[in-house]
Amino acid sequence: MKKTGLGAKIRALFTGSKIDEALIENLEDILIEADVGSRLAAEIVGDVEAMAGRGADRDTVMDVLAKRVSEGLRAVDLRPDPEADVTLYLILGVNGTGKTTSCAKLARYYRDVLGVSGVVLAAGDTFRAAAVQQLVTHGERLGIRVVQQGQNADPASVIFDALASAKSRGERLVIADTAGRMHTRADLVGQLAKIDKVVRRQIDPAHYRKVMVIDSTTGQNGYRQAELFHEAVGVDAAILAKYDSTAKGGIAVQISRSLGIPFAFLGTGETYESLQPFSVDDYLRRLIGDPVSTGMDDDVPG
Ligand SMILES: Nc1nc2c(ncn2[C@@H]2O[C@H](COP(=O)(O)OP(=O)(O)OP(=O)(O)O)[C@@H](O)[C@H]2O)c(=O)[nH]1
Ligand SMILES: [Mg+2]
């Protein structure tokens, strides 16, 4: 699939030297299409219009774009506190966004890249038997222990088991998968809030993070997903998955700016290695396609 990035599209607008009304309109359309959100698109276009009077050129517009997009976009460095006996990352999100795959990628990342000793996967998606098996298979391939109680088990109990066994074995990190649930289904989101409540009694909240997986190909809907999950349980960090499959992905900007949720990782493919810590500069490079440096990559500890 040929992807035409936001930057290439914008650069193509500037065939002449004049910034006219047609160009401004096209620019707004392109920004909205990239999922940066209509409010930010209008702000950027407003800036460009103001600059047009002062004879802005293409490079200046690209600069404004990079700065505006990166304002409010936060990266978080999610890693277990070495002082903690055990840390829990609860992976959540809507159906099919990439949760289970991200669990496996995260397990590999923490063990192989960060050298965390003792990474465990917990099969908290007990909704379908196939979901448990999917995680078990990843565990076998990676050589990572998977705690599971089969289908229909209580997810909070699976996570409790994983935490207790990890503590007794001296393992440091539990990554728990959960069932995909539609953000619009209040009952399912309510179940997640219940899991969260039970889990919070079993672990020091300082070492517990709720990590939401956002599929970058779902567009504007991703914002609503994040908003409703955030309202229900409080999302600590997000993973932008499938960023290799789309030239859009502007949704991360909206989620981070408006909800204050920082991004921890970027999922860029189906292999275990295709997960990288979220970097604002790298994200912008992929979104806009230009070497940009915002100086805004000051990660805060997660
Ligand atoms: N191209 C690409 N595909 C991905 C990425 N992450 C996940 N996928 C694919 O997306 C599909 C769904 O991934 P899962 O990990 O099963 O998604 P899930 O959120 O666990 O799905 P449910 O448990 O059914 O809610 C799979 O085919 C994955 O290989 C990514 O970063 N890039
Ligand atoms: Mg899954």
The Cα 186–Cα 189 span in angstroms is 5
- Which pLDDT score, from 0 to 100, does residue 58 have? 78
Contact by Cβ (8 Å): 243, 286: yes
Residue after which a domain boundary falls, among 54, 70, 86: 70
Residue 238 counted as domain residue:
yes
Residue 138 counted as domain residue:
yes
Query: Which of 91, 94, 97, 101 to mutate for ligand 1's pocket (most ligand atoms within 8 Å of CB)?
Result: 101
- Of 231 and 72, more confident: 231
Q: Distance, CA 299 to ligand 2 centroid (Å)?
A: 28
Residue 1 counted as domain residue:
no
Hunting for tokens 């997903």 — which residue is that? Answer: 225
**Domain limits for position 238:** 76-301
Residue 274 counted as domain residue:
yes
The answer to pTM > 0.85 is yes
Residue nearest to atom 30 of ligand 1 (CA): 242
Residue after which a domain boundary falls, among 27, 53, 70: 70
pLDDT tens for residues 50-108? 887 777 777 888 888 888 888 889 999 999 999 999 999 999 999 999 999 999 999 99
**pLDDT band per the 50, 70, 90 thresholds, residue 296:** very low
**131 and 262 inside one domain:** yes
Q: Distance, CA 164 to ligand 1 centroid (Å)?
A: 28
Contact by Cβ (8 Å): 213, 97: yes
Two structure tokens written together for 202: 């079993």
Q: What distances in angstroms separate CA 26 from CA 10, 19, 22, 78, one per listed residue?
A: 9, 11, 6, 38
**112 and 212 inside one domain:** yes
Phi, psi values for residue 27, rounded to 5°: -60, -45
Residue among 208, 232, 250, 216 nearest 98 (CA)? 216
The Cα 43–Cα 25 span in angstroms is 13
The Cα 144–Cα 106 span in angstroms is 11
pLDDT tens for residues 142-191? 999 999 999 999 999 999 999 999 999 999 999 999 999 999 999 999 99
**49 and 123 inside one domain:** no
Q: Tell me the residue length of the chain.
A: 302
Residue 283 counted as domain residue:
yes
Residue after which a domain boundary falls, among 29, 54, 70: 70
pLDDT of 11 strictly over 50: yes
DSSP 8-state symbol, 205: G
The Cα 116–Cα 82 span in angstroms is 9
Three-class SS state of 234: coil
**180 and 243 inside one domain:** yes
The Cα 34–Cα 250 span in angstroms is 5
Residue 207 counted as domain residue:
yes
Does the beta carbon of 100 lie inside 6 Å of ligand 1?
yes
Q: For residue 12, how far is the Cα from the chain centroid?
A: 29
Three-class SS state of 82: coil
**32 and 103 inside one domain:** no
**41 and 104 inside one domain:** no
Counted domains in the chain: 2
**63 and 157 inside one domain:** no
**98 and 58 inside one domain:** no
pLDDT of 295 strictly over 50: no
The Cα 26–Cα 32 span in angstroms is 10
- Which pLDDT score, from 0 to 100, does residue 3 have? 61
What CATH number corresponds to the domain at position 272?
Answer: 3.40.50.300
Residue 63 counted as domain residue:
yes
**64 and 117 inside one domain:** no
Residue among 174, 13, 12, 34 nearest 91 (CA)? 174
**43 and 93 inside one domain:** no
Q: Which ligand is nearest to the CA of 94?
A: 1
pLDDT tens for residues 236-263? 999 999 998 877 888 999 999 999 999 9
Two structure tokens written together for 148: 């599971």
The Cα 171–Cα 91 span in angstroms is 19
Does the beta carbon of 91 lie inside 6 Å of ligand 1?
no
Phi, psi values for residue 114, rounded to 5°: -95, -10
Q: DSSP of 207-227, one letter per residue?
A: GEEEEEEEEGGGTTHHHHHHH
DSSP 8-state symbol, 13: H
- Which pLDDT score, from 0 to 100, does residue 291 have? 47
Q: Give kind and range of the element (H or E) at residue 242.
A: none
- The mean predicted confidence, pLDDT, of the chain is 90
Within 10 A of 243 (CB to CB), how many other CB atoms are there?
Answer: 26
The Cα 262–Cα 64 span in angstroms is 22
Two structure tokens written together for 108: 């590999």
Q: Which ligand is nearest to the CA of 271?
A: 1
**248 and 128 inside one domain:** yes
Residue among 97, 153, 108 nearest 129 (CA)? 153
Q: Distance, CA 127 to ligand 2 centroid (Å)?
A: 10
**81 and 159 inside one domain:** yes
Does the beta carbon of 181 lie inside 6 Å of ligand 1?
no
Residue 134 counted as domain residue:
yes
Three-class SS state of 184: coil
